[in-house]
A and B are shown apart, each in its own frame.
Chain A
Amino acid sequence: MSTLTAIMMDITSPATDESTRAPPAAVPLGLAHRGFQGRIDAIAVDGDHLGVSAAEIERRLLELGIVEGAAVHVLHEGPIGRDPIAVRVNGTTIALRRREAMAILVV
């Protein structure tokens, strides 16, 4: 978790020296905490989720307006295990489990 926090701080904190830093690496939205703001870099479903194919998961995410380039803001976390999460995606709030949010890579 500490590495993750470090990554998150890395993304959210303003870059101190633009020239020496590589572009921030994309992290899965499934690991983001409440308050995280960023942009969707890619949607990459790692595999089938409990009988639902990876392609289907991808299409369901897309149908809810989750596309590359959209602004994301993690607004709320569920009461148990901080799961599911509620994410504002370009003005629409979507609730999803962290399991599926792992497929959404954000920067």
Chain B
Amino acid sequence: MTVTDINDWRIALVGTPNSGKTALFNALTGSRQKVANYAGVTVERKSGFLQTASGHRVNLIDLPGTYSLRGRSPDEEIARDVILGKFASEAPPDFLLCVADATNLRVALRLVIELKRVHRPMLLVLNMIDIARRRGIDIDLDKLSAELGVPVVTSTAVRRAGIEDLLRRIDAIAGKPAEAIAASEWTVPAASDLRAAQREADRVIRAAVSEPAKPDTWTTRVDAVLLHPVWGMIVLLVLLFVMFQAVFAWAQPVMDLITAGFDALGAWTATVLPEGLLQSFVQNGVISGVGSVIVFLPQILVLFLFILLLEDLGYMARAAFLMDRIMGGAGLHGRAFIPLLSSFACAIPGIMATRVIDNKRDRLTTIMVAPLMTCSARIPVYTLIIAAFVPDRPVLGFLGLQGLVMFGLYATGIVSALAVSLAANHFFWHESATPPFMLELPDYKLPQLRSVLMNLYQRAMAFLKRAGTTIFSMMVLIWFLASFPRPPLGATEPAIDFSLAAIIGRWIEPLLAPVGFNWQISVALIPGMAAREVAVASLGTVYAIEGGKEAVEQVGQALANKWSLATALAFLAWYVFAPQCASTLAVIKRETGGWRWMWITFFYMLSMAYIAAFITYHIALALGWG
């Protein structure tokens, strides 16, 4: 990692959303990038280094996309504060590199006119100039520059030639001896200011840009299908099916490989290290802890590959358009659809994917309900209990009772997510509907592989670094609870019976007795906090069944003998809601930037789990299934 030098030119990359800013940033800085957080906030700070033609080093900051400096969201506030030099931990930029999509100048030029009031040296980059030329849009650069009063340069983020010209221009402007920079005249624009600026932008465009008589209608023609009330929905559903399938199917072999790898590593340490505390810590604490985090990586990568491709293509905004009304009925934003769907695989990538929702309120609601979607980690628990307790008999001739129960569990998750979202709007936001949905539907563009791969890499690193530390420490804590104190010599019961987990389990047993849970379940819930599926192995441990995962059938038989049907059903109801996943909680903490929303999610899910299990248990008892 390169260290910032006081002599570096500090340049801020500014632009509206969809201006191709990030692709240009990737093209300019290549692999010399650094993703961190702005001090004190959760907004991502992307910066990188590049060399100009003269060899001068530039520290380039990619600011969040913004339509104006009004600071409507935390992201936009950052953009404003950095540009105005108000951000305490950031030196004001030496100059602004303003990016505009050459095919869509109106909104971008209005931003440029607003930025001029800041009185910082500025260079306007017309991005995607190749596409504009192909469409017959003719831009008189000299005239545009003269009318705007800002130097203008063109670029195509994919071609090296455009970038080199841009670097030469940066040299020419930033290399000039620093003249006294006038103080910023920027004030929060009122509606009349925005109107005047847009009129001025339209005037400049009329003077310098000639649009073809017959505009390019490719996007419109594609949209005729993709935004069609019927075909559009069919395409969306097919796309989602493929995506969902990919997250499950493509990732599975790699996930199995990772699990097998960590299991082998654990087994190897068992042979190398002497049996005892150290071995247990390395094998069960460190290796399985790290493994349980890394195993999610393939799913995250596959999911984000889809999301990045669809986002760059311009389809994400369309999916939000199609789903807005359906999601809006539950008080969710149209953009919440993809994250929630992803959560069927795993809530972790789903919660990370909520970044596509720009409204903070909508994003928090989505994060809160995402863990209610039935994730793949619940499947082992569901199948175990269903196989052991629900008879495999047909219903209505063609439906299996077991499958029906499974479906019911999924449906319960979805319905309760929608209900919680409605309730959240009512209790947290005191409103009954979502704020305005206004969204630019950008023209379709072919995604750039390089840029997509770089973003994918950053997502992967962000997950490993940020969640990894928190998740790992939770894993170690859970290992500690399940391992201490050690069993006395000559004890015949399983070691976990003597541990803190068992002490806590027995202590909370009276609390869980009303929902039909015995002390063994209470104990198994503690290591089950690590990940939902761990509960299966934990139940095996507390019922003293050797052999871990291979012994699932045995566990099922043991449970069928020891639990009543009422307890089993209550356990299923519990698992629909219970926040039994330390990783998810850790990611919520990371993504929301604090403990508050993590605890809110934890407690509301715990309460729902308790209430659902209680009701299920008592109904089952009343039906004589005790």
Could you list which residues of chain A lie within 8 angstroms of chain B, going by C-beta atoms? 49-52, 55, 57-65, 67-69, 75-81, 83-84, 86, 88, 90-97, 99-100
Contact = CB atoms under 8 A, between A and B. Distances in A.
B437 A50 contact: no
Given A63-B67, A65-B110, A94-B441, A78 B324 contact: yes
Interface stretch (B226-234, B378-386, B556-564): B226-234
A51 B435 contact: yes
Contacts of B189: 59
B435 A52 contact: yes
B223 interface: yes
Interface in B106-124: 106-107, 110
Interface stretch (B194-202, B346-354, B592-600): B194-202
A64 B107 contact: yes
B321 interface: yes
Contacts of A49: 435-436
Contact of B219 (A64, A93, A94): A93
Contacts of A60: 72, 436, 438
A79 B223 contact: no
B433 A92 contact: no
27 contacts: A49-B436, A50-B431, A52-B435, A55-B191, A59-B189, A61-B438, A62-B198, A63-B67, A63-B68, A64-B438, A64-B440, A67-B198, A75-B227, A78-B322, A81-B325, A84-B321, A86-B223, A91-B104, A91-B106, A92-B440, A93-B219, A94-B441, A95-B321, A95-B324, A96-B438, A97-B437, A100-B438
A61 B229 CA distance: 25
Contacts of A67: 195, 198-199, 202
Contacts of B442: 93
A41 B132 CA distance: 29
Interface in B214-241: 215, 219-220, 223, 227-230, 232-233
Interface in B186-210: 189-191, 194-195, 198-199, 202
Nearest to B425: A50
B160 interface: no
Given A64-B107, A91-B215, A94-B441, 20 more contacts: A50-B432, A50-B436, A55-B190, A59-B190, A60-B438, A63-B67, A65-B106, A65-B107, A75-B220, A75-B227, A76-B321, A77-B229, A79-B232, A80-B325, A90-B202, A93-B219, A95-B317, A96-B439, A97-B436, A97-B438
Nearest to A55: B191
A95 B437 contact: yes
Contact of A52 (B320, B324, B436): B436
A65 B320 CA distance: 20
B324 A50 contact: no
Given A50-B431, A84-B324, A86-B227, A63 B436 contact: no
Contact of A79 (B67, B106, B229): B229
Contacts of A91: 104, 106, 211, 215
Contact of A51 (B104, B110, B431): B431
Contact of A96 (B194, B435, B436): B436
Interface residues of B, number: 48
Contacts of B228: 76
B326 interface: yes
Nearest to A58: B191
A65 to B, nearest CB: 5
Contacts of A83: 324-325
B440 A59 contact: no
Interface string B485-521: 0000000000000000000000000000000000000
Contact of A65 (B190, B198, B230): B198
A91 B201 CA distance: 14
A97 B67 CA distance: 19
Given A62-B198, A92-B104, A78 B438 contact: no
A48 to B, nearest CB: 11
B191 A86 contact: no
Contacts of A93: 219, 223, 440-443
A75 B217 CA distance: 12
B70 interface: yes
Contacts of A79: 229-230, 232-233, 322, 325
A49 B433 CA distance: 10
B75 to A, nearest CB: 15
A61 B219 CA distance: 22
Contacts of A65: 106-107, 110, 198
Contacts of A100: 436-438
A76 B317 contact: no
A76 B223 contact: yes
Contacts of B324: 78, 83-84, 95, 97
A51 B195 CA distance: 23
A80 B326 contact: yes
A90 to B, nearest CB: 6
A77 B317 CA distance: 14
B137 to A, nearest CB: 9
Among A67, A79, A80, residue most surrounded by chain B Cβ atoms (within 10 Å): A79
B191 A59 contact: yes
Contact of A75 (B191, B211, B223, B433): B223
A77 B230 CA distance: 11
Contacts of A76: 223, 227-228, 321
B230 A92 contact: no
A57 B438 CA distance: 10
Contacts of A50: 431-436
Given A50-B433, A59-B70, A67-B198, A78 B229 contact: yes
Contacts of B227: 75-76, 86
Contact of A62 (B194, B211, B322, B432): B194
A68 B440 CA distance: 18
Contacts of A57: 436
Contacts of B191: 55, 58-59, 62
A94 B104 contact: no
Interface string B45-75: 0000000000000000000000110101000
A62 B195 contact: yes
